[in-house]
Amino acid sequence: ELKERNSRLEQFTYVISHNLRGPLSRIQGLANILDLADNEVEMKDISGKMSMSTRDLDRVVQDLATITEIRNINTKAFSTVNLSTILNRVVKLLESEIKEAGALVNIQLAVSTLQSFSTYMESIFYNLISNAIKYRKEKDQPVIFVESYQRNERIIMKVSDNGVGIDLEKYGTALFLPYKRFHHHVEGRGLGLYLVKSQVETLGGTLEINSRPDEGTTFILSFPVVANV
């Protein structure tokens, strides 16, 4: 476990430094040629590109702050979380995306409450349902199924879809790394699944994925009945 954590930390450090270097290099390069601009139009164009690079840099810093904050909670922050309330709020937040895609969201909760951190649970479901809508098949109606039940001393939650799926043999080892994207036909920064896994683990849970190309994806979340993180 310690080796795995160290490996993830090394990968995270590499990716973050890479994503910080990109905008910084662009800003430095643009600053160097700003004085060489021949007219106001060129200066305005360079200034606009510098502004875009600054926004990219700010986004990476915000991502870094978000990721760092994830690990800084404990069970004292936990309370009784109503899954139905959380999911209704997520569906409401994604209402326009669901309507545009013609998606069907089916929710069946055999377990409706657990001791957890509501902000993280909302973020987890938001990212998973949002991804299910984004990575839908072009010609099929998106169907998203969310369920919960108890198995022994664990609360299991599943989020399944009938979308484009993921080739786990090809991408499985990189699936939860930050800034990794495997489908480039939709916009995104490749941070959602990294945040989901980090939040699930911070809440004392585990995350598994079953998926095949063109056969949809199922995320399986497992949490202890009694929170212990």
In this prediction the pTM is 0.71
The DSSP bridge partners found for residue 154 are 151, 224
- In this structure, the strands spanning 217-224 and 206-211 are antiparallel
pLDDT in tens, the chain (229 residues): 676 666 556 656 656 666 677 778 788 888 888 877 788 888 888 888 888 888 777 777 776 666 666 666 666 778 899 999 999 999 998 998 999 999 999 999 999 999 998 888 998 999 999 999 999 998 899 999 999 999 999 999 999 999 999 888 887 666 776 565 555 445 545 577 888 888 898 888 999 999 999 999 999 999 998 755 4
Using CA atoms, how far residue 6 sits from 2, 81, 174, 176, in Å, is: 6, 32, 15, 15
pLDDT for the residue 188: 47
Using the Cα atoms of residue 194, residue 195, residue 196 and residue 201 in order, give the sign of their dihedral: positive
Q: Contact at 8 Å (CB) between 18 and 62?
A: no
